[in-house]
A and B are shown apart, each in its own frame.
Chain A
């Protein structure tokens, strides 16, 4: 038992440390190859552009840890962005109140996912595929596909475009969200049960864990975080359109899986996810700075994901092959 645990910790550590080495390697490579890559300004830029996907990936981690998936976060980001615009421009709410209403919408939408998945025991993949279509469709229907919200006050745009105490203004929000999720998943008994639920829902139920409630919470949190990301997205671009956050769900899932979280649930970590987000963000910015076409970054992200997956499986396959061979050797004299 003890040896097994020791092995597992070592293995987890290995995945994340390899990712860290890849990240540092990327950084050094692009710093040498690219122009103005390693500057502080550019680091702020990288952070700003990956902030929303980073937030979604953070919220996606507990969802995947419990063995679920949420395809609707990108669409929900779009819906929240335009509802935020609607609250502010058409309902004449002050910005903070509009933001609060948007967060409530996010929680409500996450609650819809949670209710369908845990109350009716429906597969998360299909439920969130449905809400993926529903949320984006509502955003398109509300704006009729053309309405765009712009002319936000500069005090609001500060959040997405300016610096506060030398750091990008959205940094405090991102860092506190990151700390919240890290503490939740790694430092509370409550959050540690996410992994138990993902590893074996039935076992977790027998151990007295309220499995449905844990799962529901992860989807509600994902909804709230999508709303936060929507507000930051609007502040960064200065506009809210129905296509906001299109395809972000896939980037977020890629970052989580790249960070070492098993897509089947049960194992994974928040710091792994953060490293995954950083690896993708640095790659995207570095490719541009190295004067390469930006599409290459997407290709390399896909390739990196396949390599990371294959890398996680190959050692196990080789050892099982070896075990089979030695078992055959043992079996031959008897046969």
Chain B
């Protein structure tokens, strides 16, 4: 009970919000808007899963928004060249993995701080993309939207796919040795190394995996609209990091799980529609997000302080 205090408190907050919505604004639960909301949230969920791994391993990746934009535009261009859908998906994931590998090589290989490395790559990819494309939208061919299915089916595919990924990853993190290695490296890289775990290789692979997930999320995002917006990844990094932190992953590494991240992401994703249903102006969304992040860390800080006091 105490071990999962953070996850449970986020889940409780989410539950209260959902109940409040059910009582005060039942129109929130009309199926089609809810499904659209879930489909949009599943894009962030895929990235958030990767970010959770990165943060559990005591690193951070703020270049995800830029990688997301690059993958989206590349995938859009390939699709416009009439590549088959499966090839576009694979290509997008691979492109993401290559960008992730670049981050990983600098962080794990040269031992540079991940926050600065990904800050630099974020600026570089973002400006490079703007330079090459001048902010141009990419028009997608007919078959790509909703993966060639109907809108409903496409949205269900995305939601189910994202949840399947979450379940697989969450159990892998708990039961596979690879998952435990991530926690070990994040808790103490030196101790991990002494017990035979290669922290550098693990860190590198986590960044590659993060990039691959960003590529996947990019495909899921462009499939939701007839055009690719090259600015779609703007500010994604902070949104995703916020969800991960609210979900109880410690920024100092080694603690947290994906179910908490899931709850944190849903909580943040529900704010904006909840505001409209409660008739509060949408301009408050960012401020409320900020307050939620601060409340989450303050709760953690107070609890730690209490524990220290008793110990």
Contact = CB atoms under 8 A, between A and B. Distances in A.
B86 interface: no
Contact of A302 (B115, B120, B283): B120
A245 B69 CA distance: 22
Interface in B283-304: 283-291, 293-294, 297-298, 300-302, 304
Interface string A304-330: 011001100110010000000000000
Contacts of B52: none
A127 to B, nearest CB: 6
A249 B283 CA distance: 22
Interface stretch (A44-52, A117-125, A173-181, A190-198): A117-125
- Size band of the B side of the interface? 35 or more
B119 A254 contact: yes
B242 interface: yes
Contact of A132 (B116, B123, B127, B238): B238
A253 interface: yes
B241 A133 contact: no
B127 A309 contact: no
Contact of A296 (B131, B288, B294): B131
A294 to B, nearest CB: 9
**Interface residues of B, dominant DSSP:** helix
B294 A131 contact: yes
**Interface residues of A, dominant DSSP:** helix
Given A122-B297, A122-B300, A140-B286, A133 B123 contact: no
Interface string A268-302: 00000000000000000000000001011111011
B307 interface: no
A169 to B, nearest CB: 30
A293 B131 CA distance: 7
Contacts of A309: 106, 110, 112, 116-117, 120
Given A254-B119, A263-B113, A132 B251 contact: no
A306 B288 contact: no
Contacts of B171: none
Interface in B257-311: 281, 283-291, 293-294, 297-298, 300-302, 304-305
B291 A134 contact: yes
B112 A313 contact: yes
Interface in A60-116: 69, 116
B126 interface: yes
Contact of B293 (A121, A129, A303): A129
B308 to A, nearest CB: 9
B252 interface: yes
A121 B301 contact: yes
B286 A302 contact: no
A309 B111 CA distance: 10
Contacts of A264: 113
Interface in A123-154: 123, 125-127, 129-138, 140-141, 143-145
B242 to A, nearest CB: 7
Given A121-B304, A130-B290, A145-B283, A310 B110 contact: yes
A315 B87 CA distance: 43
Nearest to A142: B283
A122 B290 contact: no
A164 B297 CA distance: 47
B124 interface: yes
B121 A302 contact: yes
A257 interface: yes
B119 A250 contact: yes
B190 to A, nearest CB: 15
A193 B286 CA distance: 36
Contacts of B293: 126, 129-130, 133-134
A302 B116 contact: no
A130 to B, nearest CB: 4
Contacts of A298: 123-124, 126-127, 130
A143 B286 CA distance: 13
Contacts of A296: 127, 131
Nearest to A304: B120
B128 interface: yes
Given A126-B245, A130-B297, 17 more contacts: A116-B294, A120-B297, A120-B302, A121-B304, A125-B60, A126-B293, A129-B242, A130-B291, A133-B289, A134-B294, A138-B287, A250-B119, A254-B120, A264-B113, A303-B124, A306-B120, A306-B121
Interface of B: 60, 106, 110-113, 115-117, 119-128, 130-131, 238, 241-242, 245, 251-252, 281, 283-291, 293-294, 297-298, 300-302, 304-305
Interface of A: 69, 116, 120-123, 125-127, 129-138, 140-141, 143-145, 250, 253-254, 257, 263-264, 293, 295-299, 301-303, 305-306, 309-310, 313-314, 317
7 contacts: A116-B298, A122-B301, A123-B297, A126-B293, A137-B284, A299-B124, A299-B127
